[in-house]
Amino acid sequence: MIKKHIILTICLIVNFLSAQTDSLVGDNQADLVAINTLLREAGSHLGTGYRGGGKTPAGFDCSGFVGYCYNTTLGIRTPASSSLFHNAGMHISIANARPGDVICFKGHSTSRRVMGHVGIITEVTPNEVYFIHSASSGGIRYDVLSAPYYKLRFMDIRRFF
């Protein structure tokens, strides 16, 4: 299982480097390095268990995971709670999303307009947005925006650098 996650992480990084470099031409080299560093850190925690309120590698909740990765690799502080992401960073349209952006979702209730879950985008293709997050079922894992659960709950994308 760990070997599968390592291979997936390597594939995502290689795919990111080859597919996303053209879309980052307007961005500086430091952004590209920061994004790669952030994604490596996030991927290194694959399989770490979910822990409500968790903010360390002993166990993460979703905002604790995002915050840990951003602070550890980039020195950027993000909100301590997923519900506070609506005013943090800069709003980015899905068409302009890039790896390293934070993807935000409603919580368990699709009828409420309150953010309740966040993750880090790892790859953007013309047909899909891939992200890594700490899920209450499964801990740190990769998912896709097109999955019915996430598609119904998608709210926003926020950029912090």
> Which residues are tagged catalytic?
62, 117, 133
Within 10 angstroms of residue 34's Cβ, the number of other Cβ atoms is: 18
Tokens of 15: 């795919």
Residue 140: Cβ-neighbour burial (10 angstroms; 0-12, 13-18, 19+)? buried
Q: Quick one: which of 14, 36, 5, 9 has its CA closest to 98?
A: 36
State the SS3 of 106-122. ECCCCCCCCEEEEEEEE
Within 10 angstroms of residue 117's Cβ, the number of other Cβ atoms is: 23
Tell me if 140 sits within 8 A of 45, measured CB to CB: yes
